[in-house]
Structure formats: C-alpha cells, structure tokens
C-alpha cells in the first residue's frame, strides 16, 4: 500500500497523482489558518532537501467545509494529518474529524521541526486525541529523539493505533555566495534519500518495540527502498520528496516493488512486512 507523505502532495492541485495512491494524506491542518514561514522555503542539498513551509494551511474549518467534499470525489481514502502546539489543539482537531465518515484515519504530526513552540510530550497529546475519536490514530514521530522506540512505546500505551515514521530532521544549508542560511527560517526539515538509513532504523526498532502497524517513509525513491521499509517492519509506505521530481512515482514504485517481491517468491507487499527480523527472532528463540 502506497501513500503520499503529508505535505508532499496537494490532491486538489494534482488529482491524477492522488488517484494513483492507495490513500491520500492531507498536509497537516491546524485549528486556525496559518500563513506558514517567509521565503525562501526550500533548498536542495547534495543528498536531500530542506523545507521550512511552516504548516501553511487553511485551518480545520476550511478543510472540513471546503476541501473534504472535493477530496472525497477523488475516490481515494482520505487520511487527515493534524498538528498544533498543545494537546488541546490535537483534541479539538480530532473532535472535528471524528464524525466525518469520509476520513479514514488521523495522523498526529508530533514532530514538525519548523514550528518552534515546544510540544507537550507525545504521549499526552495522544491521550488527548484518543479521548475525542475512535478513528485510527497514527502518531508521526521524528528520529530526533534519544530513543525513538521509547517514544513509540509511550504513544502505544497512550492509545495510538499505529506509527508514521519518520518526519524530517532539522538541517541547515548555507548560500553558496553569502554563506548565510538559504532558508528564511535559517534551519529547516531535512528529507530525501540521505534520511533513508535513519528512517529504516526507526521503523526497525519501533516495529520490534511495539509491533504496531507502521507507515514507513524517509527517502523512498524506488521499489527496492519500499521493500526495505516493509522488511524492516512497515505495513504501508509513503512517498514524500520523490513526488517533487517524479509525480509518476506511485505507479512506478508500486511496479518496481511487485517485481522485487516476485523475484523473492512473495505474492504481495504484506508478505514482506517484518522479514528483516526473522533471523533475529530465530536466534533469540
């Protein structure tokens, strides 16, 4: 199953890309509309990119009133990513979405590096969100934690149904000439191929720590990459940065993944979930 990573596709601007996905994840929505950060907001690095969009979004009211009805017409399941600065924000957002049948799942963005306010602890936010909705809740974590598996255990205990791994890491690019930060916000979120080994480690360790369903992402570019995320423990993968260079990536990655799977005698993506752990498990037993 292939999703887009939140913030990396606007289904209304590119409906044909959204339709090539198994589900569409919205850009993170906050209680109030947000303008986002001042430009420059994106910068390429040698092996990835930085962004400092800063959660530009129309707010939950406009999302529900204006965008959701149009998103539904795409015929693709809709996941809504929600974000905020306090547990009460997340509670409010989940309450607003709980009764919308057109919303399949909610992703809690616990980890946006472009929003400076310190979030309350991940578990508290999940508890607050859980109280407001019975929809599947995916906690999206950053690898910028001393031990991401510990955070994963905490959000599981707090009532999350799954994990989205990983969000971006904080990074910096300096302008070639001035040596000043290229981004308007100085630092920004680092994504793309450079992140892959970090993301894979997070998926691998959180899968072992929790056994929860995981949406794996971070630098996925090919079917081989997708296979590795499944093997490490993801049940679903999401494409982010790759969509900018290749809007046809969902179909391509899906096809490449099927080729990789059948070369290994596996019938479907689910059969690959967690296979990196098999030998380890055997050793332990």
Partner 1 sequence: MEGVGAYTLLRVERGGLEPGVPGQFFMVEAPGRLLPRPMSLCLAPAGELGFLLEGVGPGTRALCEVEPGERLYVFGPLGNGFRLDVERPLLVGGGIGIAPFPYVAQALGDPPVLLGFRSERHAEAAVLLPNAAVVVEPTYVTEPLAELVEDHDVLACGPEPMLEAVRALAPTAQLAWEAPMACGYGACYGCSVEIDGVLKRLCIDGPILEAA
Q: Tell me: does residue 181 bind a second copy (CB under 8 A).
A: yes
Write the DSSP symbol of residue 159.
T
Q: Tell me: does residue 48 bind a second copy (CB under 8 A).
A: yes
Q: Tell me: does residue 17 bind partner 1 (CB under 8 A).
A: yes
Q: Tell me: does residue 180 bind a second copy (CB under 8 A).
A: yes
Residues 95-124 touching a second copy, rule: CB under 8 A, are 118
Q: Tell me: does residue 200 bind a second copy (CB under 8 A).
A: yes
Q: How many residues bind partner 1 (CB under 8 A)?
A: 32
d(CA 95, CA 91): 6
Binds ligand FMN by CB under 6 A, chosen from 37, 182, 235, 241: 241
Q: Tell me: does residue 178 bind a second copy (CB under 8 A).
A: yes
Residues 167-196 touching ligand FMN, rule: CB under 6 A, are 167-168, 189, 191-192, 195
CB of 127 to ligand FMN, least distance (A): 20
d(CA 170, CA 188): 6
Q: Tell me: does residue 143 bind a second copy (CB under 8 A).
A: yes
241, two tokens: 């940065």
Q: Which residues of 182-217 are buried (b: 16+ CB within 10 A; e: fewer)?
A: bbebeebbbbbbbbbebbbbbbbbbbbbbebbbbbb
Cβ closer to partner 1: 1 or 12? 12
Binds ligand FMN by CB under 6 A, chosen from 2, 3, 5, 106: 5
User: What 3-state class would DSSP assign to 179?
Assistant: coil
Which ranges in the chain belong to alpha helices (H)?
15-19, 60-62, 68-72, 87-98, 122-130, 148-157, 196-210, 223-232, 242-245, 249-263, 278-284
Binds a second copy by CB under 8 A, chosen from 19, 38, 70, 170: 170
Q: What x/- string results for residues 200 through 219 when contact with ligand FMN is judged by CB under 6 A?
A: -----------------xxx
By annotation, the residues acting in catalysis are 112
Q: What residues line the site for ligand FMN (CB under 6 A)?
A: 5-8, 27-28, 51, 53, 55, 81, 109, 112, 140, 167-168, 189, 191-192, 195, 217-220, 239-242
Q: What residues line the site for a second copy (CB under 8 A)?
A: 45-48, 50, 118, 142-147, 169-174, 178-181, 186-187, 190, 193-198, 200-202, 204-205, 227-228, 231-232, 272, 275-276, 278-280
């Amino acid at each position: 199953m292939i999703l887009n990573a939140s913030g990396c596709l606007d289904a209304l601007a590119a409906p044909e890309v959204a339709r090539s996905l198994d589900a569409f994840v919205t850009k993170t929505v906050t209680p109030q509309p947000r303008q986002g950060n001042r430009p420059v907001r994106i910068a390429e690095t040698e092996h990835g990119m930085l962004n400092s969009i800063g959660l530009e979004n129309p707010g939950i009211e406009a999302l529900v009133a204006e965008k959701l009805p149009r998103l539904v017409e795409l015929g693709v399941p809709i996941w809504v990513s929600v974000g905020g600065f306090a547990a009460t924000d997340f509670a409010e957002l989940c309450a607003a979405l709980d009764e919308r049948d057109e919303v399949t799942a909610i992703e809690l963005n616990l980890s946006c590096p472009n929003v400076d306010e310190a979030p309350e602890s991940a578990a508290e936010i999940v508890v607050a969100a859980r109280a407001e909705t019975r929809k599947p809740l995916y906690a999206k974590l950053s690898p910028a934690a001393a031990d991401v598996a510990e955070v994963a255990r905490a959000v599981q205990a707090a009532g999350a149904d799954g994990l989205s791994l990983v969000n971006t890491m904080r990074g910096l690019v300096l302008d070639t000439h001035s040596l000043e930060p290229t981004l308007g916000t100085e630092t920004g979120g680092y994504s793309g191929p450079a992140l892959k080994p970090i993301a894979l480690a997070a998926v691998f360790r959180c899968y072992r720590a929790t056994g929860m369903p995981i949406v794996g992402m971070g630098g996925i570019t090919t079917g081989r990459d997708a296979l590795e995320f499944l093997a490490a423990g993801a049940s679903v993968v999401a494409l982010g940065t790759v969509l900018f260079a290749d809007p046809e990536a969902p179909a391509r990655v899906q096809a490449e993944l099927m080729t990789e799977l059948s070369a290994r005698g596996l019938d479907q993506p689910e059969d690959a979930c967690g296979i990196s752990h098999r030998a380890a498990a055997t050793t332990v037993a």
